[in-house]
Chains A and B, each alone.
Chain A
Amino acid sequence: MQEETAGVPIRTVKSFMSKIPSVVTGADIVQWLMKTLGIEDTEAMHMGSLIASQGYLFPISDHILSLKDDGTFYRFQAPYFWPSHCWEPENTDYAIYLCKRTMQNKTRLELADYEAENLARLQRAFARKWEFIYMQAEAQVKIDRKKDKTERKILDSQERAFWDVYRPVPGCVNTTEMDIRKCRRLKNPHRVKKSVYGVCEEGPPSQSPIHTPALHSRKGTKEDVEKEIQFLNIQLDRHCLKMSKVAESLIGYTEQYLEYDPFIVTPDPSNPWTSDEPSYWDLEASKEPSQQRVKKWGFSLEEALKDPLGQDLFLRFLESEFSSENLRFWLAVQDLKRRPQQDVAQRAQDIWAEFLAEGAPSPINLDSHSYERTSHNLQDPGRYSYAEAQDHIYHLMKSDSYSRFLRSNVYQDLLNTRRKLSTDQGRRTSLEKFTRSMLYGKSLTGKRITGLMQSS
């Protein structure tokens, strides 16, 4: 994109000063851009700044590559130094350049602090090569001396501007920086380009040319194509859910969990990061779950089991029904998955002995098919030997025990007690409310308190 915008067209803005060779004012550049491209001044400034930041034009008395819409003087970069040549200058080049600058006795070529630091660093890095670098720098200086004085001035400034792009002043953003993961594909001509001017594509974006043919042409051999057909057949057989149902389910999910999302609903009593008050974390860690938390256990079996307190309550409920073996089996298998390899075989056997063997103390109800498969798996016990059995038991719990749990007294009581607690709090005396709000900081009551204090 830089090639299209920079370069020749702008060059026609003529330079005029005699003493300072080949310059142009920032204002002139902006004006020219506005006239030639028919754009507004803000757009022209933006574009001009972009061009400057890439190094196509530069201020002659500054190291910072930006454009000012005033009398500041700018110069155009020599085509040799254009970024479009995809320069990736090596540190040896930079070393030669800095070295060269120290050899010439001119104040305008004196090194800035950061440049002196860089030079020192490079000298250490290239210790063995330094003689070579020094010689190169000397040769460069000799050649430069032969050039015309004005020409030299221009060239020096252009060279400096080049290095401002590739070795920017600390604090400036290096526009040449690429994500290293994408670096090796930089020269790929098929890379999708984005519009610099914010022009949006009308209609659906077209497939990048490299992707479509590549996708299909990769499968070369007969085997590959057959595999592809198999894959596609599975895809076709898959039952696709209607979009309306999908939308319904996604909306439903977010609506249900919205009150638990601290970004949407401020958590009770406060978001610790905002108020610097850890009471929210203390409450979460305590053995007394909030009503909101108990309610969440009713959303799904996953939620109940995810929360250690919920899991605990569910287990106690099942124990009261003498049907806890399913959950205990499920928990044992979860634990097995995290065991170190050396313990796995033994644990797997222990689980079999406890839950599945003939005359086991806590027999679980597994269908014959899963039973067969599991016992087969145990011939070579591994962390996932019980995967199928676990799934089966999970579904049993979900369809049977879980719904009874939600209707049970032990759950309902907890849910309602929590609710009762919050209404209790409403009836607390105003003094208690006062002290609570003082402790928990930023709240609406805080404002009222100040009002109270002022009036008294």
Chain B
Amino acid sequence: MAAEKAEIEKLKKECDGLRKQIETARKAVNDGDMKGASSGVESVGRVQLKKRKDLKGHLAKIYAMHWAADSRQMVSASQDGKLLIWDTHTGNKLVAVPLKSAWVMSVAFAPSGNLVASGGLDNMCTVYNVKAASPKTLRELDAHTGYLSCSRFLSDSEILTASGDTTCCLWDLETGKQKVIFTNHIGDCMSLALSPDQNCFISGACDSLAKLWDVREGACKQTFSGHTSDINAIAFFPSSNAIITGSDDTCCKMYDLRADQEVLHYQDSGLNAGVTSLALSSSGRLIFAGYDDFNCHIWDTLKGERVGVLSGHDNRVSCTGVPEDGLGVCTGSWDSFLKLWN
């Protein structure tokens, strides 16, 4: 027993040694900083957006929203037990999906527009066919042992989920079975984002770490630390080389995958609220981050400066999303309304 213990100790020392080496390697490539490099870039000035649409229809807190690939339809989930699919151009509600469990926390639209997924405290991800005459439950993906915090479709046959049980999972929708389970986080997984080429995805968790995973292999490829509290929101920079995270520690951070470290952080001494959600403009130049202070603040991604604010909600902003055509941004809030801005 003692011999084994000693061996484990030796191995742990090796781990620590490797970690130090990695830190040194990271410091070695740190030959400049983003702020300095971007000082030459033209400023975007003050970004003042106007509210273009007010989507009223939910009766309780909105917890999540997701744009459809056509940049026209959008689905929102509220704790009034309904999913609503909106036509954002007209403001009309197209489909209402009643949920078995009202404690919904996540919603996703399939790229085809045929399917919608939602889940929450019921620990399940339910997939609905919304092109049928009335929304039909296609599958109930039941294997997580914790709440479902986020889900994203790869296609009509595969979906990724993130859960409070600290794992993420890739499911096959035809069989309803788990294909790959991604374990490495030691805190509830709060959010995930798929890379544009769908080969990898990133997850943010309550252990304050962001991780990059290979979808097919199931392995954690990279880990990013730096936050001091739960990471609630995560997104890919459009070039796929960097990721942005938002946390309860009131900061957003950008990590570059190639430099394997933090590149920039977005923090303001006047902001004391946690970040609940975030989305990027199509060029990646702007970050729209929703906060607990009822506002959505806009950041210049390259310079790290706050360049605008979207005020109008009467309670915390719980979800933010920019459609694929990048024409506007949608914010959803606990005040039960969704607002479209540009």
Contacts and interface: CB of A to CB of B under 8 A. Distances in A.
Partners in one complex: yes
B326 A253 contact: no
Contacts of B250: 194
A85 B146 CA distance: 28
Interface string B177-199: 00000000010101000001100
Interface stretch (B30-38, B126-134, B137-145): B30-38
A364 B28 CA distance: 44
A361 interface: no
B32 A244 contact: yes
A177 B248 contact: no
B92 interface: no
Give the secondary structure class of B's interface: loop
A13 interface: no
A302 B174 CA distance: 29
A206 B11 CA distance: 27
A149 interface: no
- Residue among A192, A218, A284 with the highest chain B CB neighbour number at 10 A: A192
A216 B329 CA distance: 40
A179 B4 CA distance: 44
Contacts of B276: 179
A139 interface: no
B34 A261 contact: no
Nearest to A221: B8
Interface string B203-243: 00011100000001000101000001110000001110110
Nearest to A338: B155
Contacts, number: 226
A192 B259 contact: no
A143 interface: no
Given A243-B32, A383-B157, A194 B260 contact: no
Contact of A229 (B4, B14, B38, B175): B14
A264 B282 CA distance: 10
- Chain B interface category by residue count: 35 or more
A181 B190 CA distance: 9
Given A250-B242, A262-B282, A232 B228 contact: no
Interface in B79-114: 89, 103, 105
Contacts of B29: 240-243
A254 interface: yes
A232 B208 contact: no
Given A208-B228, A251-B41, A246 B11 contact: no
B228 A262 contact: no
A253 B256 CA distance: 13
Contacts of B50: 274
A233 B18 contact: yes
Contacts of A226: 11
B15 A273 contact: no
B238 A257 contact: yes
Contacts of B14: 229
A196 interface: yes
B19 to A, nearest CB: 6
Interface size class of A (residues with CB under 8 A): 35 or more
B210 to A, nearest CB: 13
B309 interface: no
Contacts of A245: 258
A267 B327 contact: yes
Nearest to A341: B174
Interface string B1-36: 000100110011011001101100110111111101
13 contacts: A177-B334, A200-B269, A211-B207, A238-B260, A241-B256, A247-B33, A249-B239, A253-B238, A253-B283, A254-B283, A255-B41, A257-B282, A260-B283
Interface of B: 4, 7-8, 11-12, 14-15, 18-19, 21-22, 25-26, 28-34, 36-38, 41, 44, 47, 49-50, 52-53, 89, 103, 105, 121, 147, 149, 155-157, 164, 172, 174-175, 186, 188, 190, 196-197, 206-208, 216, 220, 222, 228-230, 237-239, 241-242, 248-251, 256, 258-261, 263, 269-270, 272, 274, 276, 281-286, 301-302, 314-315, 325-329, 334, 340, 342
Given A232-B19, A248-B37, A262-B327, 13 more contacts: A205-B228, A215-B207, A225-B8, A229-B18, A240-B261, A241-B259, A242-B32, A250-B301, A253-B283, A257-B285, A264-B44, A302-B196, A338-B155
